[in-house]
Structures are given as C-alpha cells and as structure tokens.
C-alpha cells in the first residue's frame, strides 16, 4: 500500500485543490488519480494498492489546479 501524504494549505479546498496525483514505478507511469476537491484544508493522504518488488522505486507527483 502506497500512502501519499500531501500538505497543501487551502482555505477553499473545493476550488483550490490538488488536481491530480501521478504515480510512477521505475520511471514508468502506473496511474494518475484526478480529483475535484481535497479532503482537508491543509494535510491529507491518498492511498493506492500498487504491487512492488524489492529494489523497485515508486515516485508520486501531486499537482495543484492553480499553480501546478
């Protein structure tokens, strides 16, 4: 289970929010989860089941809908 914890302060989490989280395994795209709001005004986490073997690497990138 991969938990991506994000700190993205926003007083308007239904308008200014993390638009997507992209996950790569060993440099290759695995998934891109698109959101229409964020669950908290500051810090929150999204979880995903991703099979991974010893030695593999995971990379998560979160993008804000306003500034990237």
Q: 15 lies in which domain range?
A: 2-64
CA-CA distances (angstroms) from residue 19 to 31, 39, 51, 54, 55?
A: 14, 12, 24, 30, 30
**Residues in the chain with pLDDT values less than 70:** 68
Structural domains of the chain, count: 1
Please answer whether residues 2 and 60 qualify as being in contact, where contact means their C-beta atoms are separated by less than 8 angstroms: yes
Output the pTM of the full model. Answer: 0.85
- Stated length of the chain: 68
pLDDT at 45: 95
Read off φ and ψ for residue 29, nearest 5 degrees.
Answer: -60, 130
pLDDT at 66: 86
pLDDT at 68: 61
């Amino acid at each position: 289970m991969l938990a991506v914890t994000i700190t993205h302060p926003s007083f308007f989490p239904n308008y200014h929010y993390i638009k997507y989280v992209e996950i790569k395994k060993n440099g290759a795209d695995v998934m891109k989860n698109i959101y229409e709001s964020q669950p908290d005004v500051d810090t929150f986490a999204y979880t995903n089941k991703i099979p991974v073997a010893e030695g593999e690497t995971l990379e998560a990138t979160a993008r804000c809908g306003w500034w990237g």
